[in-house]
Amino acid sequence: MNTISLNDVDTARASGRPVLLTGGAVVTMDPDIHDLEVGDVLILGSRLLAIGADLLSDPEHATLAASALRVDTRGCIVSPGFVDSHRHAWEAQLRRSIPDVTDLGEYVMSTLAGIAPSYTPHDMYVGTRLAALTALDSGITTMLDFSHNSRTAAHSDAAVEALVETGIRGVHASMGPHFGEWDHQWPADLARLMSRSPGGDASLVTFRLAALSTSEIAGPAIAYGPELAAVARDLGVWTSIDAVFGQPSSQAILRWAEQGILDPTLTLIHSTGLTTDAWSAMAAAGVTVSLAPTSDAQIGLESGIPAVDEALAVGIRPGLSIDVEVALASDMFTQMRALHAIQRMRATNAVYRGVDAAPRISTRDVLDFATLQGAKANALGDVTGSLTPGKQADLLIVRADDVNNMPLNDAVGTLVLGADARNIDTVLVAGTPRKWGGQLVGEDLEALRDDVIRSRDDIERRVAQR
Q: What is the pLDDT of residue 16?
A: 96
pTM above 0.85, yes or no: yes
Q: What is the pLDDT of residue 202?
A: 65
Give how far the C-alpha of residue 165 lies from the chain's centroid of Cα atoms, to the nearest Å. 17
Amino acid at 23: G
> Residue 14 contacts by C-beta under 8 Å, 6 or more apart in sequence?
none
CA-wise closest residue to 294 among 346, 242, 331: 331
Report the domain count for the chain.
2
CA-CA distance, 95 to 114, in Å (whole number)? 15
Q: What is the pLDDT of residue 217?
A: 83
CATH number, residue 43: 2.30.40.10
Q: What is the pLDDT of residue 198?
A: 75
Residue 453 inside a domain? The answer is: no
Q: What is the pLDDT of residue 216?
A: 86
Based on the domain organization, do 313 and 366 belong to the same domain?
A: yes
Using pLDDT thresholds of 50, 70 and 90, give the confidence band for residue 2. Answer: low
Residue 383 inside a domain? The answer is: no
Mean pLDDT to the nearest integer, 358-378: 97
Does residue 55 have a pLDDT over 90? Answer: yes
Based on the domain organization, do 152 and 293 belong to the same domain?
A: yes
Residue 418 inside a domain? The answer is: yes
Residue with more model confidence, 307 or 203: 307
The answer for 410, left when phi > 0, alpha when psi is -120 to 50, beta otherwise, is beta
Based on the domain organization, do 68 and 143 belong to the same domain?
A: no
Q: What is the pLDDT of residue 268?
A: 98
Q: What is the pLDDT of residue 200?
A: 64
Mean pLDDT to the nearest integer, 357-376: 97
The model's pLDDT over 264-286, given as tens digits with 9 standing for 90+, comes to 999 999 999 999 999 999 999 99
CA-wise closest residue to 135 among 388, 393, 394, 372: 394
Count the neighbouring beta carbons within 10 Å of the beta carbon of residue 379: 19
Based on the domain organization, do 154 and 136 belong to the same domain?
A: yes
The model's pLDDT over 399-449, given as tens digits with 9 standing for 90+, comes to 999 999 999 999 999 999 999 999 999 999 999 999 999 999 999 999 999
Mean pLDDT to the nearest integer, 116-126: 98
> Residue 349 contacts by C-beta under 8 Å, 6 or more apart in sequence?
none
CA-CA distance, 402 to 138, in Å (whole number)? 16
Strand partners, 78: 26, 397
Based on the domain organization, do 71 and 90 belong to the same domain?
A: no
The model's pLDDT over 315-343, given as tens digits with 9 standing for 90+, comes to 999 999 999 999 999 999 999 999 999 99
CATH number, residue 306: 3.20.20.140
Q: What is the pLDDT of residue 26?
A: 98
Does residue 187 have a pLDDT over 70? Answer: yes
Q: What is the pLDDT of residue 466?
A: 82
Strands across the sheet with 288-291, in order? 82-87, 140-147, 169-174, 205-212, 239-245, 266-272, 288-291, 319-320
Mean pLDDT of the chain: 96
CB 9 within 8 A of CB 436: yes
Mean pLDDT to the nearest integer, 365-385: 98
The model's pLDDT over 435-451, given as tens digits with 9 standing for 90+, comes to 999 999 999 999 999 99
Based on the domain organization, do 356 and 308 belong to the same domain?
A: yes
Using pLDDT thresholds of 50, 70 and 90, give the confidence band for residue 201. Answer: low
Does residue 166 have a pLDDT over 80? Answer: yes
CA-CA distance, 362 to 359, in Å (whole number)? 9
Residue 274 inside a domain? The answer is: yes
- Which residue range is the domain that position 38 belongs to? 6-80+392-440
Cis omega before residue 117 (within 30°)? no
CA-CA distance, 7 to 177, in Å (whole number)? 43
Mean pLDDT to the nearest integer, 379-398: 98
